[in-house]
Structure 1
Amino acid sequence: MTPQALFLDFDGLICDTEDAARRSWSLLYASYGLAFPHAVWRRMQGRSDGEEVALADLGRRLGRPVDPGTRTRRLQKKTELCRAAPLRPGVARLLEQAELRGVPALVVSSSPRDWVEPHLVRLGVRRFFADLVTGDLVERHKPAPDLYLRALWQTGLPAEEVCAFEDSPTGVRAARAAGVACVAVPSAAGDAAALTEAVQVLPSLADFSFDRFLLPGSPLPDPMKGRPPR
């Protein structure tokens, strides 16, 4: 069976705001003569508390807390970089195919609605989404399954009929915890090797095919179906 709905993460998947975030942290660390550790970035990816992770690491290296003004400047730089970030490859094609097939698409993101929706409008894809399930609707964010459980409740579909798309291990774990099969597409700042829990890892959403994808547990096509009897 092909998916009856698509649940798409936003940051890093639809728009590479993740790379913008990574660059903003790299610039901040560099201003102190430090390199931004890849291990810290991996711990941050896909988490709504990622800023706290990096600030704690930087504070330890500096031997003092990071001052509020520096935090503000880092966020301003991230916002500036995000405003220039384009739609990721294959997103428009996937959404157009879903629309043609009558398959609803929802954003499922730990980020708040007032961050996600303006970007969707800017990128010209807001109309494709039946709903936005965002971090301001639940108490626990990814890797907890709450956002995906909320999205399932809103669609009225069982988990086994839905396909999620994520770019981070945190997101993949959240989908799996809700029983939703997940296809992973690493962002520019991501690591494909860390996405092994996904049912598929694709280089781009442009590589996803409704015709070739089967949800786990779906019966395989009958190779004899449609053939005349001998």
Structure 2
Amino acid sequence: MPAYKPVTHVIFDMDGLLLDTVGPHLAIHQSLLAEYGQTCTWYDLIQVMGHTALETAQEICRLKSVPVDPEIYQDKVAALQFSMFPKIGLMRGAERLVRHLHKHGVPIAIASGSSQTSFDLKTTSHRELMKLFNPVVLSSSDPEVKAGKPAPDVFLVCAGRFPDKPHSSKCLVFEDAPLGVKAAAAAGMQCVMVPDPRTDKSLTEEATLVLESLEDFKPELFGLPPFNS
């Protein structure tokens, strides 16, 4: 068995990990790129998941040779989010794990590439659950986050905003995207990856632990209170 190190704090990514947003994100980019005779596949999306909103627009425009300023593309993405994001649901096992950790006094946070506006839309139906997270760091809106994932910035800023400012080694990250796993590793944090089943196994190798669902997580592996406690 791998030697997992005990942790005291937990940091969650949001898109595709807590919230079921991959489908809506893909639909938005497919709709916009169709205007330019292009398409967006799941594989295209996985390459940018974790970036800030502007970094994502820049990369999509580059990959697809879209003849438009990335900031304009970003604005078009944001406009479509208003109709799609309020309906987003939770990923399997997310609420159970979050409430369990909060119940036992484990500090929990969110570190996401989202903007504040996007976050508010996505969490429309989950406001009560979101109140359990402190801090919430959104790299597309936060001036202290200089670069999106795979840079470690968002996780380091997040750790620094816990009241007791834990060392990185005491923080456990939950991620679904390869860029997020790289960011956690760069921040010196262990990472539990819950990848989309279409993710190539070679893209999961940097994770500390890989699971099919948050339902499969055993908190005691990392020194956290077990579910039967």
The TM-score normalised by the length of structure 2 is 0.79
Distance 1:8 1:50 in 2: 20
Q: Which moved more, 1:37-46 or 1:77-86?
A: 37-46
Residue number among 139, 142, 149 corresponding to 2:149 in the alignment: 142
- Name the CA shift for 1:207/1:27 in 2 (closer, same or farther; >3 Å): same
Query: Which runs of structure 2 are paired with 1:133-172 in the superposition (5 Å)?
Result: 133-135=137-139, 136=142, 137-155=144-162, 156-172=165-181
Secondary structure of 1:59's aligned partner: coil
- Cα displacement (A) at 1:39: 4.7
The aligned residue for residue 226 of structure 2 is none
Query: Which runs of structure 2 are paired with 1:74-85 in the superposition (5 Å)?
Result: 74-85=77-88
Who wins on radius of gyration, i.e. which is larger?
A: 1
Residue type matched to 1:149 in 2?
L
For each residue in 1:135-176, what CA deviation from the matched residue of structure 2 results, as whole angstroms up to 9, or x when unmatched? 113222211111111122222111222210011111111111
- Cα displacement (A) at 1:47: 1.2
Q: Which moved more, 1:39-48 or 1:69-78?
A: 69-78
Q: Which moved more, 1:157-166 or 1:192-201?
A: 192-201
The aligned residue for residue 222 of structure 1 is none
Secondary structure of 1:56's aligned partner: helix
Secondary structure of 2:174's aligned partner: strand
Q: What is the aligned-residue RMSD (CA, Å)? A: 2.6
Distance 2:121 2:68 in 1: 32
Secondary structure of 1:140's aligned partner: coil
Structure 2 unaligned blocks of 5 or more: 224-229
Distance 1:70 1:139 in 2: 21
- Name the CA shift for 1:126/1:58 in 2 (closer, same or farther; >3 Å): same
Query: Which runs of structure 2 are paired with 1:145-224 in the superposition (5 Å)?
Result: 145-155=152-162, 156-187=165-196, 191=199, 193=201, 194-211=203-220, 213-214=221-222
Distance 2:69 2:146 in 1: 27
- Are 1:122 and 2:125 an aligned pair? yes
Structure 1 unaligned blocks of 5 or more: 216-230
The aligned residue for residue 86 of structure 1 is 89
Percent sequence identity is: 25
Distance 1:101 1:67 in 2: 44
